[in-house]
Chains A and B, each alone.
Chain A
Amino acid sequence: MPYEADTDETRTAVASQRERIELNLWCVRGAGRLLFLLFFVGWVLLARFVPAPSPMQTSEEIVRRYQENVHGIRLGATFMMVSFCFWAAWGAVVANWTRHSPGGGRVLAMIQIVSLTLSEMVGVLCSFLWGLAAYRPGEISPDITRTLNDAGWLMFLIPWPPFSMWCVALAVAVFRDRREGEVREFPRWTGYLSLLTAFLFVPAGASLFFKEGGYAYNGLLGMYLPLAIFFIWVEGVTWAMTGKLKAELSRLDRSGERIADRISTDA
């Protein structure tokens, strides 16, 4: 019964491909949103890091801020660490697309994976340092608590190059696909958005050099805008990736219907 075996295999292949796309969809949409939600809850609501402490504050002021919200900051640091786990799921889908897209390839995908790993490490380390600063506030020298606080904020902002490299690798993959119109998997604006994001991370590095003004680690230009553009980028890529995966899913459904039609006709 070679023909029945063929159709069974085809149906199984379609079903497993459908599951694969659904997993991708869950990772890119669910993990992208969870990343944002958990980070927001941890960073804003629990740790109350908005407004951020100023680098100009004295050690005593920093210790008081940590003492007043010691459990919130510890819990917030934990939430942030969890949020970064979901980032891996999101990044894996994007890297996988890059690996198989016409403009991508193994090298660009590997650049993304390495950059993602470094970025994850940065995220986990800065949460760890904030958590560590909230471990013994008031029990140890205030200068140590202030240094740990500084280390957390600077770790959060200074390592911008891997983030930018990640965005550039995606932009290159998008622009190398020279096809036009409907057949394009990723719209070209995502390439431009990635380039813009890579570029706008750069001012975050200035926070190492200034303690007051817009470029300090509590400044609009040094911290809030690079952070905002990062989430805009994640949301933009999620949107484009979701569209691409949904199109793939409906294409698969149409081909599945054709197979079903063929089976019923043959029967």
Chain B
Amino acid sequence: MPEAPSTASSAASSTAPSEPRSKALSARDEVPARPDGPALPVPRRIPGEAGVWVFILGDMTMFAAFFGCFVHDRSRHLEVFAWSQAQLKIGFGAVNTCLLLTGSLFVVWAVQAARRDALDTARRFIALAFVCAAVFGVDKLIEWSDKIAHGLTPATNLYYMYFFMFTGLHAVHVMIGMVVLAHLWRLCRRPAQAAAPLSAARLRTLEVGASYWHLVDLLWVVLFALLYLMA
């Protein structure tokens, strides 16, 4: 297993002198070193590009409305929601939470590896994140089949309507995320000129994809708390 960098912020602001860095990154992120003085502030930069945050914040706003509806209907049908929640097996949700969080970590490491121009390492981490997403899908399918086998469908009550709709829409996000990860994997192939680093445009696309993947992760964390844990 390749070495894992310490934190996202440290990798964004500084790297070990021995590590090769892409020209694209050094042009944008280099902070002048002052050995005897205090560290200079890191210039502010939007991960990926501004446009993708229109998408991410818009999607999050829409999910916030979803959650608002859920909480509103829950307050009117407390008993139905409590009974329905008791039918869920928390293990499915917990495993999926671990899978998505781990996948997000792999994506962070992949971006950091790509910034260091360690493209093979980046591809390996992206592949691992893809595996996490695929296992998430399998886990979700087993959970859905189990519920349907026990006669719990979207038509059962309001809780299960929200359960299937929210987890279904989230599963669509995961599937799109898997397509995005596959694209990032292709993107991290060594360019034709063997010594050339990843271009600034490719690095930006990598960050855009990674930001989307974190959105998928974040939405699930809130969904998990709302559907499985809210007493």
Contacts of A189 in B (CB 8 A): 50-51, 54
Would you call A209 an interface residue if the criterion is a C-beta within 8 Å of the partner chain's C-beta atoms?
Answer: yes
Nearest chain A CB to B118 CB, angstrom units: 26
- Interface stretch, picked from B35-43, B97-105, B154-162, is B154-162
Contacts of A213 in B (CB 8 A): 69, 73, 158, 161-162
Would you call A212 an interface residue if the criterion is a C-beta within 8 Å of the partner chain's C-beta atoms?
Answer: yes
Q: Mark B132-169, 1 if CB is under 8 A from A, else 0.
A: 00000000000000000000001100100110010001
Contacts of A30 in B (CB 8 A): none
In the complex, A212 Cα to B20 Cα: how many Å? 58
Partner of A212, one of B59, B66, B158: B158
- What is the interface residue range for chain A against chain B? 20 to 34
Would you call B55 an interface residue if the criterion is a C-beta within 8 Å of the partner chain's C-beta atoms?
Answer: yes
In the complex, A221 Cα to B162 Cα: how many Å? 11
Least CB separation from B176: chain A residue: A199
Contacts of B54 in A (CB 8 A): 189, 192-193, 196
**Is the beta-carbon distance between A195 and B69 smaller than 8 angstroms?**
no
Partner of B154, one of A178, A190, A209: A209
Contacts of B62 in A (CB 8 A): 200, 225, 229
- What is the interface residue range for chain B against chain A? 20 to 34
Nearest chain B CB to A66 CB, angstrom units: 27
Nearest chain B CB to A146 CB, angstrom units: 21
Least CB separation from B69: chain A residue: A214
Would you call B49 an interface residue if the criterion is a C-beta within 8 Å of the partner chain's C-beta atoms?
Answer: yes
**Is the beta-carbon distance between B161 and A188 smaller than 8 angstroms?**
no
Contacts of A225 in B (CB 8 A): 62, 65
In the complex, A190 Cα to B50 Cα: how many Å? 11
Contacts of A206 in B (CB 8 A): 165
Least CB separation from A215: chain B residue: B165
Would you call B218 an interface residue if the criterion is a C-beta within 8 Å of the partner chain's C-beta atoms?
Answer: no
Least CB separation from A232: chain B residue: B58
**Is the beta-carbon distance between B161 and A210 smaller than 8 angstroms?**
yes
Nearest chain B CB to A239 CB, angstrom units: 13
Contacts of A195 in B (CB 8 A): 55
Nearest chain A CB to B89 CB, angstrom units: 24
Would you call B128 an interface residue if the criterion is a C-beta within 8 Å of the partner chain's C-beta atoms?
Answer: no
Contacts of A202 in B (CB 8 A): 169, 172
Q: Mark A120-146, 1 if CB is under 8 A from B, else 0.
A: 000000000000000000000000000
In the complex, A209 Cα to B169 Cα: how many Å? 15
In the complex, A134 Cα to B153 Cα: how many Å? 36
Q: Mark B68-82, 1 if CB is under 8 A from A, else 0.
A: 111001000000000
**Is the beta-carbon distance between A188 and B51 smaller than 8 angstroms?**
yes
Would you call B52 an interface residue if the criterion is a C-beta within 8 Å of the partner chain's C-beta atoms?
Answer: yes
Least CB separation from B50: chain A residue: A189
Least CB separation from A213: chain B residue: B158
Least CB separation from A175: chain B residue: B51
Partner of B162, one of A193, A199, A214, A229: A214
* Residue picked from A191, A195, A202, most chain B C-beta under 10 Å: A195
Contacts of B158 in A (CB 8 A): 212-213
Would you call A187 an interface residue if the criterion is a C-beta within 8 Å of the partner chain's C-beta atoms?
Answer: yes
Contacts of A104 in B (CB 8 A): none
Contacts of A220 in B (CB 8 A): 65, 68-69
- Give 7 A-B contacts (CB < 8 Å), ordered by A residue: A189-B51, A192-B51, A203-B165, A206-B165, A213-B162, A219-B69, A220-B68
By a beta-carbon cutoff of 8 Å, the part of chain B in contact with chain A is 49-52, 54-55, 58-59, 62, 65-66, 68-70, 73, 154-155, 158, 161-162, 165, 169, 172, 201
